[in-house]
Structure 1
């Protein structure tokens, strides 16, 4: 059985992707074949070689360049800035996986800031029926009134606790093609230019609403200072601002460093941690305040998901 796994990265995310891939390789079964594809627009020859050289007898690591024409409708404009801070085209690449790889009817997607603690085949083999994809509801939302307000007032999703995080995805890629997801995405982004705190994630939640299979929380355990660590997480996802290469006391940080200590980028990662100052850490926390400002501005926009859904069906 061949299991396709995808990452989307920018060049500077190579060290984190390398550690994530190593964690995945550490838990593979010799009975399966794994094909890991990293979607990029540009990457240095050195980084490409280091990632592809991670391949083993049954794990094949490849770098795939995204066609510029596919992402042309996605502009470097304010509404497409991730959480209102910066623009990175790579966050949108995952949406194109079903179209770019028609040979697969199912596929796994992982953010580069993840650690895999089990055979990813276990996730791939989950039966999600005719749902568009499977992901975990974002547990952070339950403890952040700001995001509760955003999802209810701006996205119009009720209850907001069903809003998923798309850093870990099991795609029904056949359904994405059959239902013409990407055509719907192009139509909505060009017509309404929705402003979002999480652009790609918002489109997946809205277009596929009520056709999403909710995975158990162990598949996307994220640092959250409001709740204790999830025991025996299958995948750890260092979402938002609390990265172990920036914070030495972040939840689940031990999982990252246990893998990273044997990785070629270990020294570079330790240097990043050492050079990330208290002022830098405070700025990372202050980004939550910037999210609050963006939420208030989105509520005043002419077109929000909640407003548009009153007169047009955004779902497929």
Structure 2
């Protein structure tokens, strides 16, 4: 495949989210036109030969992609993991993309909890990245809820982006030796960033971050009040979905969650994990009824004064499905 024609897409994962990685990649290849060619770079942690062979078989079914694997071994094994952020050191792998893939001027990075509903040709080949290290979508959830935290850490909230989908200008990042700075930040045990790699990227790249439209990284249910109505409708209706909060394989996420399961069922039968499916739907049903029950109890407590159980607002919120993993 001609490097000038392909779109390099990087995804990082370990064996705990292998199914999710396949669903993400499948959604990209199924949602793109036949003229779009992708080179999928899989950054992984010690996947066995058997698992890699399964991945080879899965990707071989598509004509519009090539792929390669980069084993990260035990890199970042001592890196800090926040209680809020992803519970995997694979989240830090993106820091090494500029060095490992320096043959490219730019690449696209995507998290595994992501569903594509459109291709990437226009973004990759036509987005002007002159003077920018990164391009991404504003993370309104963090900006609204953690203003004081961002301020205390010296991070400008006006251009704070979600790192789950990034267009990375590798040429400029390498030219300015940004990787060394990122690695120094992650090795500083005193700093313990709440949103880990995302905070580090936002802090160190301030002033050189380009904001993209919400359609490139729409986190359901979105923030309708903070977006232009047309941009919100475009993102919610046909934008790419990022399940950065509670995951659709753990919690009931309504129609947006069923979009993820729709792509799961498009996987070849041999690539599906029956144990994963059963375990996931047991959790979904459990959390669905648990949430309904606790919601009833909470409102009885709050509005009718019926104290069936001791429950305040914080306790009620804790019954929401955990966003981790």
Q: Is contact 1:82-1:88 (8 Å) kept?
A: no
SS at match of 2:123: helix
Per-residue deviation, residues 215-248 of structure 1 (Å, max 9, x unmatched)? 11111111247658743343100003x1111112
Gaps of 5+ in 2: 225-231, 292-314
Q: Which residue of 2 aligns with 1:272?
A: 279
Q: Provide the rounded CA distance (Å) in 2 between the counterparts of 1:243 and 1:211.
A: 31
More deviation in 224-233 or 193-202? 224-233
Q: Is contact 1:139-1:161 (8 Å) kept?
A: no
Q: Provide the rounded CA distance (Å) in 1 between the counterparts of 2:113 and 2:221.
A: 15
Q: Which residue of 2 aligns with 1:312?
A: none
Q: Which residue of 2 aligns with 1:109?
A: 109
Q: Provide the rounded CA distance (Å) in 2 between the counterparts of 1:250 and 1:96.
A: 36
Q: Provide the rounded CA distance (Å) in 2 between the counterparts of 1:94 and 1:176.
A: 12
Per-residue deviation, residues 16-43 of structure 1 (Å, max 9, x unmatched)? 1111110011023333321101101211
Alignment equivalent of 1:60, drawn from 66, 75, 90 = 66
Q: Which residue of 1 aligns with 2:13?
A: 9
The aligned runs of 1:155-166 (5 Å cut-off) are 155-158=153-156, 160-166=157-163
Q: Provide the rounded CA distance (Å) in 2 between the counterparts of 1:18 and 1:284.
A: 34
Q: Provide the rounded CA distance (Å) in 2 between the counterparts of 1:250 and 1:196.
A: 32
- Relative contact order, CA 8 A, sep 6+: which one is greater? 1
Shift of 1:46: 3.5
Q: Which residue of 2 aligns with 1:306?
A: none
Q: Is contact 1:38-1:62 (8 Å) kept?
A: yes
Alignment equivalent of 1:49, drawn from 53, 60, 78 = 53
**Cα 1:75–1:254, aligned 2, differ >3 Å: closer, same or farther?**
closer
Query: RMSD over aligned Cα, in angstroms?
Result: 3.0
The aligned runs of 1:27-38 (5 Å cut-off) are 27-38=31-42
Q: Which residue of 2 aligns with 1:148?
A: 147
Q: Provide the rounded CA distance (Å) in 2 between the counterparts of 1:174 and 1:281.
A: 49
Q: Is contact 2:115-2:242 (8 Å) kept?
A: yes
Per-residue deviation, residues 199-226 of structure 1 (Å, max 9, x unmatched)? 1111100110110010111111112476
Gaps of 5+ in 1: 292-316
**Cα 1:86–1:128, aligned 2, differ >3 Å: closer, same or farther?**
closer
SS at match of 1:7: strand
SS at match of 1:118: coil
Bigger CA radius of gyration:
2
Alignment equivalent of 2:195, drawn from 180, 198, 207 = 198
Matched, 1:238 2:243: yes
Alignment equivalent of 2:27, drawn from 6, 23, 30 = 23
Alignment equivalent of 1:180, drawn from 177, 187, 190 = 177
Q: Provide the rounded CA distance (Å) in 2 between the counterparts of 1:233 and 1:82.
A: 32
Shift of 1:187: 2.9
Shift of 1:85: 6.8
